[in-house]
Chain A
Amino acid sequence: MTCGERNPYPEAAAYRRPPEVVMRLSRMGSFHQSRLSFMRALLRRLKRENWSFKRNLWALDADGFGRAVYTVYGPERAYSLVAFSHYLPDEMRSDRVIATAWDATFTLFDGIPTTEDLDRLEQNVPKQEAGRISDSELSLSRANKSVRLWRYVVDSLANGKQPDREQLEAVGYLVRTTAVYGSGKFGAADRLTIADRPELSGPFQAELLSVWLIRAFSIDLVEHVAAARGGERAVTIEPELRRRIGVGNSTGLGMAPFLVNHPALLNNWMMAREEALARVRALPRAEPAAIREFRRHFERAVDNAAQWHSEHPIQVEKLHALRADLERMGEYMERESLVDDHPWDRFYRWAEASLSLEGQEQLVSLLLEPYGELVDELTRCMDADEHQSFFIDGSMPAKDLREIVETHCQWALNVDYDRPDNCARFWYTSAEKLEPRVGERFDEPGAEYELPLAIGRDLWALHAALQAWRGGATVAEFLLAHPEHRHTARRVQNLRAHPYAEIQDNLIAADMLPIDILRCKLSFFGATRFDPRSDRWVRICMYQDAPFPHELLAAAP
């Protein structure tokens, strides 16, 4: 972690959970959003820096089709969400990445677009992957309406009634994004273009700014259509009810390999979170204000768990456990002092021994809530210089490489990868949609182009090959003879400075759940209401309860 050397809280080190505890899929698949999540870091910055906001264009017809521009103005730069709203026949509405048309399409423009920019974007953005955007755009995304809720809310508002709170909360959003692309995809500006802008240097800040503005657009759109239909009878959504509306998202396997393909970045996310937890656990006592704040967030977590629905058997069971865990946490708080004797560490250690992983990780997120001053600065450590970790130190003795594997990767060495259930899967890029998928090695073709995501098996193979290199030979000599291990050797050297870089589970095992990887990543984004629709496909909610642009930011002139 780039901030590690200057850590002002050395006493926290003793409380840090080791990688072998944290980097397990079952635990990563139980993470919850926290103060460090990227959505929350983004909104904190916009507020702190007094950004302003203006809807610069609203050119939609009575049915809600047309285009709109939302601009946020920062101290140095402005960014604009450009939205196109389209007619979409019901039978074409699909969240799958194989869809070719959507209810609405978006791009985040770097600055304020001219009419010529908008005309160019209108030729491309609605086509999504089949179009091309440019160095002036920072993201490309699309959304579909929630059929369940959209018509109901339009009808209610058009008839002068507020939508029913329960129905609203049961879905949680009016539109669901089905992909949010950034970083040089489909012609968009390269990541390095924005990497040294403080407001966008953190992970996924451009993409998440897009989503925040899409949420505002979805409310404006539903109110616009209701007003056109209901005329003078129509009402707008009450502010308190409106807050309950987030943006949905459907995500499949496509985003899962990201965490594996960016080991230094994954390390920095994990390390920041673990350091934050350790700092709180290291506190010898808790002030009354902190305890009050903790209790307030605890109550919100209880509400959240009550409203969090899923039909997927795995998540149903996890939610059951989470609700029971929260009840037990409540009992603990009645029974035990939260004041003295390292209260948060005692609480955490009790949870580790008593609760399910869902409950333990919920507590981790809750423990950070009262301590913004202690932990928020860690969000500055959550990006990564991946060029530095790409370099291979060929002068290292080959035996040292083997020692790193033995020190950091025992988890990979104790698996028999010849057993069919331990190598049942393979990751590949689909020719159909150019996105990653998981195949069954023994039933499906294509394993010869397996993506290098079978980290455990490859570590095992590297370790085996290194057995013969016990003399003074260097990594450079080893890799000249064994170029097939180059990718893995790079990862292994990276572990010296990035101990949380590798998921310590077999990613090609028959029982591996891709949704665990998705949940980990989405929790870092700040997503809630994780609702798997299969073992490799998940729905979430973003920005539920967050302020809207016109609430958080001043109106721009």
Chain B
Amino acid sequence: MSYRLTLAEAEAYLRKAARAVGLDWGLAEEAGKAARWLAAFGLPGPETALAQLERLKGRDYAAFMPDCGHEPWQAAGGLLCPVVTGAALADRSAQLVAGREFALGRTAHPLLLVAILGQAARYHRVAFATAWAGVQMNCFGDGLQILGERDDMLCAAAEAVRCWRDDSAVAEIRPSTLAYEIDEALFKRIDSLAFETYVPASEASRAGAGAGLTDND
């Protein structure tokens, strides 16, 4: 069974799911945007974000954060989180624009990293290339180019990742605004993670939310 998830829902659910596993709101927002960005290209952004968030769940995400002082960037725990690392890269994207190349060590779900760089590409109006294993993905503000092995694109972890500005890239895929089809069982897992950020009703909250006077007149 598949479920049609609108792009707005993809962003909102994954933002909450990311918060549920302990990412702070600002990073959770990046996760939501990344899921949405990929889904707009028909790529498994929500599913990949779910897989990464389930990996983070119950752990301190500091272990997945990059040490940006030394190249290649490495995580204390040995595996970089693509959301946290993508945000760190996006924050340094002016250096990418200026021509610097970044090298990363072992990175989980690099596809998410591309999505977060995609937001920065949109801002700078340039193309950023990200390459690992046998695949290179070039992201633009409103387009994408995939070179090489699509199977590698979806890998759960890459041993090494490189990012740079690539002016020779050509946008070949344009984003859609239509709903994204996701396996219903996977959606339920996203939904139940997001649900953890919701606060159960109490008598006090129910009473407070509504009209003080009658609402049936």
With contacts A93-B216, A536-B209 taken as known, whether A476 is within 8 angstroms of B27 at the C-beta atoms is: no
Q: Which of these, B8, B33, B206, B209, contacts A537 with CB under 8 Å?
A: B209
B49 sits at the interface (CB 8 A): no
- Contacts A439-B204, A534-B210, A534-B212 aside, 20 further interface pairs with beta carbons under 8 A come to A94-B215, A96-B215, A190-B177, A190-B179, A252-B210, A387-B119, A388-B123, A392-B90, A428-B198, A429-B199, A430-B209, A432-B200, A476-B68, A476-B91, A480-B68, A483-B87, A487-B29, A533-B212, A537-B210, A537-B211
Which residues 365-388 of A have a CB within 8 angstroms of B?
387-388
Q: Which of these, A135, A184, A438, contacts B208 with CB under 8 Å?
A: A438
Interface string of B88-116 (1 = CB under 8 A from A): 10111111000000000000000000000
CB distance B122 to A387 under 8 Å? yes
B75 sits at the interface (CB 8 A): no
CB distance B204 to A253 under 8 Å? no
Which one of B18-26, B50-58, B128-136 is at the interface?
A: B18-26
A490 sits at the interface (CB 8 A): yes
B201 sits at the interface (CB 8 A): yes
Residue of A430, A477, A483 most packed against chain B (CB within 10 A) = A483
CB distance A192 to B119 under 8 Å? no
Q: Which of these, B8, B29, B93, contacts A184 with CB under 8 Å?
A: B8
CB distance A487 to B6 under 8 Å? no
CB distance B88 to A476 under 8 Å? yes
Which residues 170-187 of A have a CB within 8 angstroms of B?
183-185, 187
Taken together as a complex, chains A and B put the C-alpha atoms of A23 and B25 apart, in Å, by 24
CB distance B204 to A444 under 8 Å? yes
Residue of B8, B95, B195 most packed against chain A (CB within 10 A) = B8
B65 sits at the interface (CB 8 A): yes
CB distance B177 to A192 under 8 Å? yes
Between A and B, 17 residue pairs with Cβ closer than 8 Å are A134-B4, A135-B6, A135-B177, A188-B6, A189-B6, A192-B177, A193-B177, A252-B209, A391-B123, A395-B95, A431-B201, A444-B199, A449-B198, A476-B91, A476-B92, A483-B23, A487-B26
Closest chain-B Cβ to A537's Cβ sits at a distance in Å of 5
Closest to A538 in B: B211
Q: Which of these, B68, B123, B178, B217, contacts A148 with CB under 8 Å?
A: B217
Please give me the 9 A-B residue pairs with the lowest Cβ-Cβ distance, nearest first.
A486-B26, A184-B8, A394-B91, A446-B199, A534-B212, A476-B91, A431-B198, A487-B26, A533-B211
Which residues 115-133 of A have a CB within 8 angstroms of B?
132
B163 sits at the interface (CB 8 A): no
B84 sits at the interface (CB 8 A): yes
- The residues of B with any CB-CB pair to A shorter than 8 Å are 4, 6-9, 16, 19, 23-27, 29, 33, 65-66, 68, 84, 87-88, 90-95, 119-120, 122-123, 177-179, 195-202, 204-206, 208-213, 215-217
B215 — which chain A residues lie within 8 A by C-beta? Answer: 94-96, 250, 533
Taken together as a complex, chains A and B put the C-alpha atoms of A483 and B92 apart, in Å, by 15
Which residues 80-138 of A have a CB within 8 angstroms of B?
90, 93-98, 132, 134-135
B68 — which chain A residues lie within 8 A by C-beta? Answer: 476-477, 480
Taken together as a complex, chains A and B put the C-alpha atoms of A428 and B206 apart, in Å, by 13
Residue of A96, A193, A392 most packed against chain B (CB within 10 A) = A392
CB distance B201 to A488 under 8 Å? no
Closest chain-A Cβ to B122's Cβ sits at a distance in Å of 6
Closest chain-A Cβ to B24's Cβ sits at a distance in Å of 5
B211 — which chain A residues lie within 8 A by C-beta? Answer: 95-96, 250, 533-534, 537
A75 sits at the interface (CB 8 A): no
Taken together as a complex, chains A and B put the C-alpha atoms of A187 and B6 apart, in Å, by 6
With contacts A95-B215, A190-B7, A486-B27 taken as known, whether A394 is within 8 angstroms of B205 at the C-beta atoms is: no
B24 — which chain A residues lie within 8 A by C-beta? Answer: 483-484, 486-487
Q: Which of these, A189, A440, A476, A488, contacts B204 with CB under 8 Å?
A: A440
**A to B contact number (C-beta, < 8 Å):** 182
Q: Number of contacting residues on A, CB 8 A?
A: 71
Residue of A187, A193, A394 most packed against chain B (CB within 10 A) = A394
Closest to B97 in A: A395
A193 — which chain B residues lie within 8 A by C-beta? Answer: 177-178
A393 sits at the interface (CB 8 A): yes
Closest to A486 in B: B26
A295 sits at the interface (CB 8 A): no
Interface string of A475-501 (1 = CB under 8 A from B): 111011001111111100000000000
B87 — which chain A residues lie within 8 A by C-beta? Answer: 479, 483, 486
B120 — which chain A residues lie within 8 A by C-beta? Answer: 391
Closest chain-A Cβ to B173's Cβ sits at a distance in Å of 16
Q: Which of these, A90, A94, A146, A189, contacts B177 with CB under 8 Å?
A: A189
CB distance B217 to A147 under 8 Å? yes
Q: Which of these, A190, A452, A476, contacts B6 with CB under 8 Å?
A: A190
A390 sits at the interface (CB 8 A): yes
- The residues of A with any CB-CB pair to B shorter than 8 Å are 90, 93-98, 132, 134-135, 144, 146-148, 183-185, 187-193, 250, 252-253, 311-312, 387-388, 390-395, 428-432, 434, 437-440, 443-446, 449, 452, 474-477, 479-480, 483-490, 533-534, 536-537
CB distance A96 to B210 under 8 Å? yes
Residue of A97, A488, A536 most packed against chain B (CB within 10 A) = A536
A475 — which chain B residues lie within 8 A by C-beta? Answer: 91
Taken together as a complex, chains A and B put the C-alpha atoms of A480 and B85 apart, in Å, by 9
Taken together as a complex, chains A and B put the C-alpha atoms of A434 and B205 apart, in Å, by 13
CB distance A430 to B199 under 8 Å? yes
Taken together as a complex, chains A and B put the C-alpha atoms of A453 and B26 apart, in Å, by 12
Closest chain-B Cβ to A488's Cβ sits at a distance in Å of 7
CB distance B205 to A183 under 8 Å? no
Closest to A193 in B: B177
With contacts A388-B123, A445-B202 taken as known, whether A437 is within 8 angstroms of B65 at the C-beta atoms is: no
CB distance A449 to B197 under 8 Å? yes
Closest chain-B Cβ to A46's Cβ sits at a distance in Å of 24
Taken together as a complex, chains A and B put the C-alpha atoms of A96 and B201 apart, in Å, by 14
Q: Which of these, B93, B179, B201, B217, contacts A146 with CB under 8 Å?
A: B217
B201 — which chain A residues lie within 8 A by C-beta? Answer: 430-432
CB distance A390 to B26 under 8 Å? no
Closest chain-B Cβ to A187's Cβ sits at a distance in Å of 6
CB distance B4 to A187 under 8 Å? yes
Taken together as a complex, chains A and B put the C-alpha atoms of A474 and B94 apart, in Å, by 12
CB distance B26 to A253 under 8 Å? no
CB distance B205 to A439 under 8 Å? yes
CB distance B119 to A444 under 8 Å? no
Taken together as a complex, chains A and B put the C-alpha atoms of A215 and B64 apart, in Å, by 55
Closest to B65 in A: A480
Taken together as a complex, chains A and B put the C-alpha atoms of A490 and B119 apart, in Å, by 14
CB distance A429 to B197 under 8 Å? yes
